[in-house]
Amino acid sequence: MTFEHLLATRTDNMNASAVREILKVASSPGVVSLAGGLPAAESFPLDIMDELPGTVLARYGARALQYDASEGFLPLREALVPHLGARGVITTADGVLVFTGSQSVLDSLGKVLISPGDCVAVEAPTYLGALQAFNPYEPRYVEIATDDEGLLPDSLDHVLAANRVKFVYLVPTFQNPTGRTLSLARRKQVAEILRHHSALLVEDDPYSDLRYAGDPVPPIRTLAPENVVYISTLSKTFAPGLRVGFCVGPELIQRWLVVARQGVDLHTNTFAQALSAVYISEGHLQRQLPRIIELYRPRQQAMLEALERHLPEDFRWTRPEGGMFVWVQGARGLDAEHLYHRCVALGVAFVPGKFFYVNQEEGIATLRMNFTAADPATIDRSIAVIGQAITEEIGARV
C-alpha cells in the first residue's frame, strides 16, 4: 500500500533532501567533518552536570518532571532576564518565551505569520535551518544583498519598499554560514529602516556569546525594540541536546507563538529548563563560557592559518571574531559540490555553500567550514586535503 496521494501539497516545498543526502556521507566513519555545526564535546560542562540534576531535583522535586506552562518554566524565564539584559535586551520574566531550541521558535513564527505566497526577506546567503522551518508554510523569499560586512542596508530598504514583506530574517552576529557580523553603524541604519517601514525583524542570535576577539555589538533588538523578535539559545553555551531556545518579541507575536506551540509540543522539556535555570542562576554559564571561548579560539586561529597556508591565492574567506564558521569564496568557475565529493573520498567534509542560498546558483563556488568540532591539528590536516583537492579540481578543469 502506498500513501503518496495522502501527502499535503506543502510537502512539495519541504523536500530539502539534496543537502541531506549529500551530507549523509559527511558522518561516515573515517571522514573528518568540517560540515556540521556541532559544538565540541569538550565544550560541555560534564563536571557541572555531575551535580546539576541533583540540585534540580532537590530544589524543584516533582515539578521538574511535570507538565508545565507553554510560556516556559518560570525559574528559567527569571534567570534569562539578567542573561538577556547583559546583551542589552531588556525584558521581564513574562516577556521571555522558552521553546524547544531556537528552531522551534522559527517554526512557530512561520506558522503564525506566513500564509502561502507571503513574502519573507532573507540575506543571501542565509541560515539553512531557517529556510527549513519556513518552507512548509510556503513563503516566497526575497533576497537582501550582502557584501563582505554583511547585509546592505540600502538593499533592505529597497526590498521593504518593493514588497509586502511579512518579516525579515537575519543572523546579524557571526552569521551562519558566513561568520560575518553587521557593524553598529549598519545596525543603526537597519533599525531606522525597520521603523520607517513599520517592519518586523526576526533577529536570530545563537552565537554572540562565542566572541574570541573584538568588542560586542548590541543586538538590533536594542535599537528597535518594538520591531524585533529576538531569538537565542543555550545550545552553544550549555548543551544543544537539551533543546532550549528562547525569544523576546512584540506582545501580539508572543501571544500567538504560545498558541502555536501548544499545538506543536505543549511546552519545552521541564527538566531541561530546570537544569538551564540552575546553570544560569548559579553562575555556571558565566564560569563555563570562558572555557568554551578558550577552546574555540585556537581552533578558529588554526583554520584561518591553514586556509592561508593551503588555499590558492584567488580564494577569499571571512575572518570572523567569533561564532562557529568560516566562509570560503572559491575562484570563479569552482563547483564546490563537485569538490565536496572529491574531498569526502579523501576523508574530509564541508558544506557546499549553495545550499544556504534561495537561488542556489549564486553560491556555486562557496564553502562553509566549521572549526568548533575538530582540534587544531585535525583542522590543519583537513584544510591541507581540501587545498590539494582544489588544486586537482582546477587542474582537471584546465
- Applying the rule CB under 8 A, the residues between 294 and 353 that interact with a second copy are none
**Segment 188 to 207, residues that bind a second copy, using CB under 8 A:** 198, 200
- The residue from 24, 30, 252, 313 that contacts a second copy (CB under 8 A) is 252
126 binds a second copy (CB under 8 A): no
- The residue from 81, 133, 190, 364 that contacts a second copy (CB under 8 A) is 133
Crossing angle for the helix pair 52-60 and 270-281, to the nearest 10 degrees: 110
Pick the piece of the chain touching a second copy (CB under 8 A) from 33-41, 204-212, 283-291, 311-319: 33-41
Of the pair 14, 185, the CB lying nearest a second copy is at 14
Contact 70, 266 (CB under 8 A): yes
Burial of 122 by CB count in 10 Å (0-12 exposed, 13-18 middle, 19+ buried)? buried
DSSP string of 327-339?
A: EEEPPTT--HHHH
- H or E element in which residue 83 lies: helix 74-85
- The residue from 82, 85, 214, 250 that contacts a second copy (CB under 8 A) is 250
Rounded to the nearest whole angstrom, what is the least distance from the CB of residue 287 to a second copy in the complex?
17
247 binds a second copy (CB under 8 A): no
14 binds a second copy (CB under 8 A): yes
- The residue from 68, 71, 205, 209 that contacts a second copy (CB under 8 A) is 68
- Bridge-based pairing of strands 366-370 and 228-233 is unpaired
21 binds a second copy (CB under 8 A): no
Rounded to the nearest whole angstrom, what is the least distance from the CB of residue 354 to a second copy in the complex?
19
Per-residue contact string for residues 226-245; x = within reach of a second copy by CB under 8 A = xx-------x---xxxxx--
289 binds a second copy (CB under 8 A): no
**Segment 152 to 181, residues that bind a second copy, using CB under 8 A:** 166-167
Rounded to the nearest whole angstrom, what is the least distance from the CB of residue 65 to a second copy in the complex?
4
Pick the piece of the chain touching a second copy (CB under 8 A) from 100-108, 175-183, 319-327, 328-336: 100-108
Contact 244, 232 (CB under 8 A): no
Q: Residue 268 to residues 22, 65, 122, 149, 274: CA-CA distances in angstroms?
A: 31, 11, 27, 36, 11
39 binds a second copy (CB under 8 A): yes
118 binds a second copy (CB under 8 A): yes
- H or E element in which residue 316 lies: strand 316-317
18 binds a second copy (CB under 8 A): no
- The residue from 135, 146, 173, 176 that contacts a second copy (CB under 8 A) is 135
Q: Which residue has the cell 576523508?
A: 347
Backbone angles phi, psi at 141, to 5 degrees: -95, 140
CA 103 to chain centre: 9
256 binds a second copy (CB under 8 A): yes
**Residue 379 in grid coordinates:** 583542522
Report which of 208, 151, 187, 218 is spatially closest to residue 323, judged by C-alpha positions.
208
